[in-house]
Amino acid sequence: MKRTRVFSFITCLTLALCGTAFAEIADIEKNGDWYYIYNERGSRYKTMSVASVGELKGHSSTFFIGKNGDWYYFFDDKGSRFMTKSVTEIGTIKSVSNKGFTSKNNGFIYTWDKKGKRTGTRPAK
């Protein structure tokens, strides 16, 4: 009986901790010098400075992109920067989805996965 209670407590604690560790981005709101990141329940779970993110270019539920000067910064759902790419390489960000993003550069539309690998190219119209 004692083991069952301990096991139940550990299971509940593990589920509670994992539930907060894997938040999905539902919204990012700019307020002055801060970005507030909200989860699917509408709770703010992360605050980041505009100086560290730059201008928000788009987000999905798993990552978001900021532009700071000549650089794009890519952040995961926890707010950790996982990649930096130059504006000259990417061009202009058109849209962001859970699987990646699209950009326009030098008369072409490029499709990228969220790890920064270019997966497709087509002429822009």
pLDDT tens-digit readout, 1-54: 565 555 555 554 454 554 445 589 999 999 999 999 999 999 999 999 999 999
* Residue environment code for 22-54, b if the CB has 16+ CB neighbours within 10 A, otherwise e: ebebeebeeeeeebebbbeeeeebbebebeebb
Average pLDDT over residues 119-125: 96
pLDDT digits (tens, 9 = 90+) for 56-70: 999 999 999 999 999
The DSSP bridge pattern shows strands 118-123 and 55-59 to be unpaired
Distance from CA of residue 46 to its chain's centroid?
12
Would you state the pLDDT for residue 23? 83
pLDDT digits (tens, 9 = 90+) for 71-89: 999 999 999 999 999 999 9
- Asked if residue 109 has pLDDT above 50, the reply is yes
pTM tops 0.85, yes or no:
no
Average pLDDT over residues 79-107: 97
